[in-house]
Amino acid sequence: MASKFSRMAQLGALTTRVSSSYLGNKVAGMFQGEDARKASLDRTHEENATRIVANLGSLKGAAMKVGQAIAQVADGYGLPEEARAALGKLHDKAEPVPFETVKRRIEAELSGDLDTLFARFDREPLGTASLGQAHAARLPDGTEVVVKVLHEGIDGSVHSDLSALRAMLTAGRVLRRPKEEVDAIFQEIEERLEEELDYRREAANLTLFRNFFKTEPNVTIPLVHEGWSTGRVLTMERLAGVPLPVFVANSTPAARQLAGVTLGRAFLRMQYELRAIHADPHPGNYLFTPDGRVGILDFGCVRRLELEWIADYGECGLAAQDDDRERLMGAAVRIRALTRRGDTAAESVLWDLCQAMGTPFRRGGPYTMGSDSDDIQDRITALVPRLIGSSALRSPHELVFLHRGLGGVYQILKQLKARADWGGIFEDVALRCLADRDRARAALHHM
């Protein structure tokens, strides 16, 4: 891991270079025609995106996670295709940390010798990501576990890395949204990343979700072994199962169907009942057993949702089900997605967006994710220019990780070809959420 000062110097030099390139492009554009000016700006976007990706890839750590987060939510914020494509190449993998470094860190955190703390500890990691590294191990009582170890020196880099990337992406208005919206996006990402650096918080998240799903036989959440966990080391149960590609290739249609319906329903229940979502839906964070049960991993990134806000968000979906445009617009104002009523163009594109997103949740029977007729992604992509161009529309900060989660689960369900009455499942959980809100309001009124 690069030192704090070398990281700052590298990111500072990159920020200056990116900003200067846009300034030079603007000056040159004064002497060019419209087509030449646009072509030049496109080249500048592509060159700068490539520079940013190369630097984030070499820095790893928080810089890499920030770049990934921006790439995953980029569609709704006007990031140019060239920059989107380059950032999309970022992956959450890193060179393994030497075993002796990991051993030293664990022994310091757990105040003991590694050979005494564990009956077995594999020297080769299960995986190394930008923030930490995971190893298989066995506790003295024979329990098979996974041990996550936070990389050294990463704790203080989130804010500086995020500030540098924000400066790069706001140079030349690469993110074509109002400043206050961009600031809220970056603040949201920073808060979630800071939480990921505290394994005590992740342990609490694991316990919360494990208790929530304790009566669901097809969902498994790892048990935390608190005696072997600190803020920088997290020891948890090792779950059975295989990754998504192996499961898709080798499972029966019935198992894939069970897994898809289980995962889809689980996410909707998180959203509307628990009001805390697993917000890092990378396929690698799920394991599948041969019969279709689902194990969910990595609860460092969790987005909690206020009851009033998520109830109004659910009301948008219920209004779309009912083709009730007026009700939907009222709820959109309350969740801060629509800043004012009466802007016909803004309300039109918002309605079209909700209709597209709500396609699987219409009433009238089952819908198959990933079927030949599933064109949701194309329809949403086609709406992006109109969404970005509207001054009356905003992306509330709550949506950054909510839509990241929804989008990630949708991509998995497409691979599973999951078929269900999604409209019925959604309506059930959303109506119960609205009932919870009404009860909370009534209780407050009678205080």
β-bridge pairing 132-138 and 127-128: antiparallel
- Please provide the DSSP assignment of 226-256 as one string: GGG--SSEEEEEPPP-B-HHHHHHHS-HHHH
Contact 294, 259 (CB under 8 A): yes
Report the chain's terminal Cα–Cα distance, integer Å: 54
Q: Cα angle vertex 208, ends 331, 279, to 5°?
A: 50
Question: How is the chain split among helix, strand and coil, in percent rounded to 5?
Answer: 60, 10, 30
Q: What is the gyration radius of the CA atoms in the chain, in angstroms? A: 23
Instruction: Tell which residue, 206, 298, 286, has the closest CA to residue 242.
Output: 286
Contact 237, 299 (CB under 8 A): no
* Residue owning tokens 């991993």: 297
**Burial per residue of 152-170, b for 16 or more beta-carbon CB atoms within 10 angstroms, e otherwise:** eebeebbebbbbbbbbbbb
Paired tokens of 24: 């030079």
Which residues are identified as catalytic?
280
Side chain identity at 161, as an amino acid letter? D
CA contacts within 13 A on the Cβ side of 299 = 25
